[in-house]
Amino acid sequence: MSGTRSARASRRLASGVVALTLLAFAGWWWARPADAAPSDAARVIARMRTAATNTDFTGTVAVTWRAASGAQKHATVDVRSAGGVLELTSTDNRVVLDENGRTFVRNDLGWSSPVSEPPARDKPAPDARWQLDLRHTQALGRPVTVIVARRADDAIAQRLVVDDASDLLVRRDVVDRDGAVERSFRFTSLVVQPTTAAVPVQAPTATERNAKAVRATPDGYHAPDRLGAGFVLVSRATASDGFHLVYSDGLFSLSVLEQQGDLDWDALPGVGIDTSVDGQHARLFVQPLGSVVVWERDGMVFTCVSDAPGDVMGAALTGLDPDSSVVDRVVDYVLGPFSFD
């Protein structure tokens, strides 16, 4: 049993690491807004998170991120949206999100459909934890609103640039504690007008996998209501591949997949950085628009994905299992010299 589950976990992570760039990228246009948005900045973010649903546009986006080695990496993504369908294409991957909320991913293995988690409930407002500063300027020859999210010590954690006319997010910078940009994307060209988003005929043939929302945590799993750094549980669901949790602090998100069984480390993608402490392993995958950390403890495999800065993600993980020394080691690993230096 554990062998089957470990293989399944490895395949899912291998596929997920490949597609994470575009899925996380798409999520910033295709996310549900917070339930409450009391400040001006929070209201701009709420409109931004639904703008792509109602806006036809085409554009090219430059993506930059700092790999675990410290090297700067770059990629280009073509974006199109029309009629409630969003399409993102890079050199090796393609993501299509349709008006029904279905997601399809194409890579060198063909088309697939990632597990679709149920909508988040009672998501915190963007300014519930973060201090948000707002100013107006110009970008791409268009009036824009710049929103800066600051940590409690006033250090910048994120900059968002939103097009005033369309409410589209045209730039996003995630910033580490030292003020350096960990990863960013920005439109280098943007045309807002009716267009045609090519929905591949093959996409609907991929098997859809939907997680089922549950109120109670199944036996054997762990689902704290709160994590560190102000993250609260907004979605709890079960699927064939395990137990799905989604946490949010109103601005960033952290998804957790818990799977019973042993992880086959050799079957994981080779692009991550590995560590071993007292026989316990963790692997970090630094992706253009998010980070993945995977480890196992006492017959449970944890896969965590977040778009937050490294220090924020590390602080959130401390609440996942407070009694686990493995989590402490993973946090040290995420924040240590092998992560975002």
pLDDT at residue 152 in the model = 92
Q: What is the pTM of this model?
A: 0.84
Cα Rg, the chain, nearest whole Å:
19
pLDDT at 29 over 60: yes
pLDDT at residue 133 in the model = 95
pLDDT digits (tens, 9 = 90+) for 289-331: 788 888 888 888 888 888 999 889 888 887 776 566 656 665 6
| CATH class given for the domain over 2-205 | mainly beta
pLDDT at residue 1 in the model = 35
Give SS3 for 16: helix
Q: Phi, psi at residue 127, to the nearest 5°?
A: -100, 15
Residue ranges, CATH 2.50.20.10, the chain: 2-205
pLDDT at 112 over 90: no
Give 146 or 336, the one with higher predicted confidence.
146
Residue 280's CB is within 10 A of a number of other CB atoms, namely: 15
For domain 209-335, give the CATH number. 3.40.1000
The set of long-range contacts for 331-338, using a CB threshold of 8 Å and a minimum separation of 24, is: 333/275, 333/282, 333/284, 333/293, 334/284, 334/291, 334/293, 334/310, 335/310, 335/311, 338/68, 338/273, 338/275, 338/284
pLDDT at residue 323 in the model = 63
Residue position matching structure tokens 């293989």? 7
Q: Are 270 and 141 in contact (CB under 8 A)?
A: no
Residue ranges, CATH 3.40.1000, the chain: 209-335
